[in-house]
Structure 1
């Protein structure tokens, strides 16, 4: 199975960063290491975080045990399709959101990327 990991698998494991539980970075890295680090970073900040971050910001998150795999993938595909056809104003909003997410979740990325570097 390890050679057959897909972007869907990667997104599912990255979504654990946004649930109301302790993040198992070792497990996340065990999946993420099958992808180039640049791809993992992009998937985290450009696909998964925009769909999942609001869960982590709520006082009582509605999702605390994990995002449903198929629903998560559907939401990511929907987001990417909308962003591809976005106009100038929407692209600026997307850019602002990306900067916010990269700043807000910088510590999480540092923890994960450190494990990815160790495992290579």
Structure 2
């Protein structure tokens, strides 16, 4: 009997964080996790929670993370980010950041969508 893994939000975020490692991005792997969630939800988790935490890794000349982000640490940072966005200013900042990241990560999202649609 074959059992299938139930994927959690933490699993999804850990997979999406691979977009920001300083290595070849395995979109097929990311899609293998993301396909268990609605596309709109995956997009929201990427832009609202994962990208704001992991994006700076892609901006540094010598990125500190080149293989994978620690899933527990990432999930803890997402919890901190969620708490910060509770107020009016936090929501405004979140929405502004999301708009910027949607534009900046358009190519990465399109690449992931190619794998999600197959």
Scaled by the length of structure 1, the TM-score of the pair is: 0.90
What residue ranges of structure 1 are gaps of 5+ in the alignment?
Answer: none
Q: Partner of 1:45 in structure 2?
A: 47
Pairing 1:103-114 to 2, within 5 Å after superposition: 103-114=103-114
User: Which structure shows the bigger proportion of residues in helix conformation?
Assistant: 1
Runs of 4+ in structure 1 off by over 6 angstroms are none
Q: C-alpha distance in 1, partners of 2:4/2:103?
A: 31
How does 1:10-49 map onto structure 2 within 5 Å?
10-49=12-51
Q: Is contact 1:12–1:72 with CA below 8 Å preserved after alignment?
A: yes
> Alignment RMSD, CA only?
1.3
SS in 2 for 1:65: coil
Task: Provide Cα deviations, 1:79-108, integer angstroms capped at 9, x if missing partner.
Answer: 011112x233x4333222111111111100
SS in 2 for 1:34: coil
**Aligned residue pairs, count:** 116
